[in-house]
Amino acid sequence: MATARSADLAGFAPTLLSADELDRSRQFRVAADRDRFFAAHGLKRRLLGLLLDAPGAQLRFERQWAGKPQLVGRELHFNLSHSGDWVVLAISRSAPVGVDIEQGDSALPEGMLSLALHPDDRLAPEPDSLVDRFYTAWSLKEAVSKGVGIGLALPFTQLRLEPSAPTQYRCRHGDELWHAEHRKLEGGAHLAVACLAAWKRLRLLRIEHGI
């Protein structure tokens, strides 16, 4: 899994992106939002290209029935997320993966906690505040839902978090058992990754000056 600040990926040229990705970038009216899009998808193409020993600009993607992107003709699972000035890419060679990063506010909008929690959720360690409790649960469940391929269409109140170790969780969706982990980054951003297969070691790569 790789994390980066958008500013550190400013050197990624839009020429890495496909025609479809460039079309999608034109929906952003604010230059900062468009730059974050370029950074996220440039990181995706550069890192996947390095792992596959292929030019990143030549990688082809398609969307599953619910919209989750996947590589065409390659046995490599990935998922992408960005929030604020953070970009994160999760990669797994063994099973579907989902990732979420939330650079949240210091105040929690009324009613949001009830949208994130299952009555039997357990978090370990227990967050110090309701805001951290919300973003911990939300990021973990969004990582699971993105791994499933449904995203925000999956009600988070149907997902129950069960600790398996400090910062690590099991979460069931139907007959599937997802394995998830939560980290808190500098500046307070909440990062979570979920995989359908249990990993022996989660490697976190911080990219600070491009790749």
Pairing state of beta strands 168-173 and 176-184?
antiparallel
Backbone angles phi, psi at 87, to 5 degrees: -130, 135
The whole-number pLDDT of residue 11 equals 66
Order of all β-strands in the sheet with 77-83:
77-83, 86-92, 2-5, 205-207
pLDDT given for residue 171 in this prediction? 98
**pLDDT (0 to 100) of residue 59:** 94
Provide the whole-model pTM.
0.93
Q: Which residues of the chain have pLDDT under 50?
A: none
What pLDDT score does 210 carry? 61
Quick one: pLDDT at residue 121?
97
Nearest CA to 23 out of 8, 10, 41, 6 is that of 41
Q: Cα 185 from chain centroid?
A: 14
- For residue 211, the model assigns a pLDDT of 62
Q: How many CA atoms lie within 13 A of 19 on its CB side?
A: 0
